[in-house]
Amino acid sequence: MDFFTLIQILDATVRLAIPLLLACLAGLFSERAGIFDIGLEGKMLAAAFFSAAIASMTGSVWIGLLAGIAASLFLSGIHGLASITFRGNQLISGVAINFLAAGMTVLIAQSWFSQGGRTPSLSGAERFNPINFPGALTTTNEVKAASPLMQVYSELLSGHSLLVYVALLTVPMTWWLLYRTRFGLRLRAVGENPAAVDTAGVSVVGLRYAAVAICGILCGIAGAYLSTALQAGFVKDMSAGRGFIALAALIFAKWRPWHALYATFLFGLFQALELRPDVIEAVIGMKVQGQFLGALPYIMTVVILAGFVGKAIPPRAGGEPYVKER
Amino acid sequence: MDVMPKWAEVVLVPLISLLLAAILSGLVILAIGEDPIAALKLMIDGALGSTYGWGYTLYYATNFMFTGLAVSVAFHARLFNIGGEGQAMLGGLGVALACLFIPWPHWSLGLLGAIVLAGAFGAIWAAVPAYLQAKRGSHIVITTIMFNFIAAAVLNYMLVNVLRPKGAMDPATARFPEAVHLPTLHDILAPIGISFSKAAPANVSLLVAIVACVLIWLLIWRTKLGYEIRAYGHSESAAKYAGISPVKITMIAMIISGALAGMMAINNVMGEAERLVLNATEGAGFIGIAVALMGRSHPLGVFIAAILFGFLYQGGAELALWTSIPRELIVVIQALVILFTGALDNMVRMPLERIFLALRKGGN
């Protein structure tokens, strides 16, 4: 394997890891506040559809992005209503949201576009297009011939869409918000011991709704990225289990922002390698089944959960509705 | 004393939830520019208007009875088994192995063998998450979700690389031998003079599913083990105090649950497709969640809910065939049922409780 192939794989890793990262951070906010969210997948899917659909109708990817975030926030609202206000089962609510998104996206897509559950393909201003850094080479042949440093600059660092850089920025922002602000302290506290937060005179309900809303916004961006940056348009079930991989990454990262970055990039690397079986064969000298690589994030999560490689302890009040003492 | 009488708890709350789900589904159909009443008529006609329709409705219902019971048994021990889908996939593998590699002399023996292997495969697939929950404290919901994906990868590998006959292109096993073809409802009902559609896939598995409903009812409400499962589900600490082992109950409840989900494969793999294909489960494992929630985890409720969902499934297929409403409408209805009967349960219950409280005060 030459250096350029490595750079190509890392480049693919970045592109595939971004939706995982955004969804993982979304889950992090929600679960740190004590609200389990297995509906990440559904929120991403709904956002992917509405971003692509509205971008295609208005010709502006920015309006599409807003529509995607709005759709994701709407589902977050349902989740909040079910799990915070009506103290229902958060897991069941998440399952319902996943199915709601899977069904409604196809139903609406068919009704609006009649193209078998997809949106028209997007082009030009309807998409988030690659941003090329100054001086970066753009064609594959040029990059291949350039020096290693130039290859890294042109292929790996440059040429991603705006949302990639935004997603990378959300990692330090999440860290800062959670560990350096009063809001973050309260948010973490409400996931560990809501009664204490309540006693301090801070609204548990308000904090949890805020966390669920942030989760919705991030899932919205993740979905918009899928349909308007990674691909050019929405197709049925395009989130393809990414919400669950993000959930796995969240456990892998033990609910910490920087570790979420590492975990999602690791899982992104698996996805990138799954697309390049020739490279794996060349590197380790034997054929690895694609199915095995695809299942690896899930297997690793089970191993981590089992506590064989460091124990993953979730926020203590996670999954339990808070009932104010009377 | 409970605020609400028992009949309200068992019948009224689920009925109102269901009604809300139905109204919203109707609005969804209206929103995509179709007529909900006409759609409902078409569904009833297609699913219940002929023995052919009934044959499909009951075929789907059989799947959902197994997966619904699976989720219910776990619910009784307050365990949420989202892994029915993966367990059913593995059950399919068990059925395929039983049918392809053992020369059964008669379908009845083949069916017994397939039940055992399908149940065992499903049970193993549920036992691992159960063990991890009981012994290592890893959350069963997450592990069962992960096991769904791992099951899909295992099945994909087995079908593409191991079980696919030489020269075949599509990832599926060879056809099962003639000897293990299960009798359909047509074959069963013809001798007693009832003519039933020959083309419909409902088969003898339906009877197995009904027997399973009865057995699970006996288990949960008439045996010591069932009592222990329910006690554990109500209060883990109380159950522990009464000498019930949490590890044992978690393992047993999940093994029964996984076995039931796995057994679904006798219907869809052995009874209908007569070979194992990718995506043989068609999401039935997840529909089990909706069925169990709607049926209030009671076998009779599961039975009724399974038939309702069988009707929705077959009716939905008819809709997709004759109108521009895609099949995904059923996924939406399923989501709404899960949402209203499962997650937003208290939205219906809280106001009802208030009404009953007011009524009782007025009566005194």
SS (H, E, C) chain A: CCHHHHHHHHHHHHHHHHHHHHHHHHHHHHHHCCCCCCCHHHHHHHHHHHHHHHHHHHCCHHHHHHHHHHHHHHHHHHHHHHHHHCCCCHHHHHHHHHHHHHHHHHHHHHHHHCCCCCCCCCCHHHCCCEECCCCCCCCHHHHHHCCHHHHHHHHHHCCEEHHHHHHHHHHHHHHHHHHHCHHHHHHHHHHHCHHHHHHCCCCHHHHHHHHHHHHHHHHHHHHHHHHHHHCCCCCCCCCCCHHHHHHHHHHHCCCCHHHHHHHHHHHHHHHHHHCCHHHHHHHHCCCCCHHHHHHHHHHHHHHHHCCCCCCCCCCCCCCCCCCCCC
Q: Does B347 touch chain A (CB under 8 A)?
A: yes
Cβ–Cβ of B153/A295 closer than 8 Å? yes
Per residue in B230-239, pLDDT tens?
A: 999 999 899 9
Q: Does B322 touch chain A (CB under 8 A)?
A: no
Portion of chain A with pLDDT greater than 70, in percent: 98
Between B107 and A308, residue with greater pLDDT: B107
Cβ–Cβ of B138/A81 closer than 8 Å? no
Beta bridge partners, B184, equal B203
Per residue in A170-194, pLDDT tens?
A: 999 999 999 999 999 999 999 999 9
**Res A200: pLDDT:** 92
Report A:77-136 residues touching B (Cβ under 8 A): 78, 81-83, 86-93, 95-100, 102-104, 106-108, 110-111, 114, 117
Domain locations along chain B: 63-307
Select the CATH number that applies to the domain covering B63-307 from these four: 1.10.3470, 1.10.287, 1.10.150, 3.30.70: 1.10.3470
> How many residues in total does chain A contain?
326
Asked whether the predicted pLDDT for residue A325 surpasses 80, the reply is no
Q: What CATH number has the domain spanning A3-126+153-305?
A: 1.10.3470
Closest residue on chain A to B33 (Cα): A111
**Res B9: pLDDT:** 79
- The per-residue DSSP string of B122-140 comes to HHHHHHHHHHHHHHH---H
**Res B364: pLDDT:** 56
**Res B1: pLDDT:** 46
Alpha-carbon distance of A225 to A45, in angstroms, equals: 11
Sequence-ordered list of residues with C-beta below 8 angstroms from that of B346, at least 6 positions apart, any chain: A86, A87, A88
Structure tokens belonging to residue B11: 């019948």
Band of the pLDDT at A326, cuts 50, 70, 90?
A: low
Q: How far is B198 from chain A (nearest CA, A)?
A: 32
> Which residue, B302, B338, B308, is CA-closest to B73?
B302
Cβ–Cβ of A103/B350 closer than 8 Å? no
Cβ–Cβ of B149/A88 closer than 8 Å? no
- The per-residue DSSP string of B304-354 comes to HHHHHHHHHHHHHHHHHHHSS--THHHHHHHHHHHIIIIISHHHHHHHHHH
3-state secondary structure at position B66: helix
**Res A310: pLDDT:** 64
**Res B313: pLDDT:** 92
Of B146, B156, B342, the CB nearest to A298: B146
Per residue in A102-156, pLDDT tens?
A: 999 999 999 999 888 889 999 888 999 888 888 888 788 888 888 888 888 888 8
Q: Does A295 touch chain B (CB under 8 A)?
A: yes
Q: What's the mean pLDDT when you consider all of chain A?
A: 90
Q: Does A141 touch chain B (CB under 8 A)?
A: no
CA atoms within 13 A on the CB side of B229: 27
Cβ–Cβ of B28/A247 closer than 8 Å? no
Q: How many CB atoms lie within 10 A of CB B300?
A: 12
- The helix-helix angle for A61-80 and A90-113 (nearest 10°) equals 140
Low-confidence ranges of chain B (pLDDT < 50): 1
Model ipTM over 0.95:
no
- The helix-helix angle for A242-252 and A3-32 (nearest 10°) equals 80
Q: How far is A78 from chain B (nearest CA, A)?
A: 9
Of B132, B139, B335, the CB nearest to A100: B335
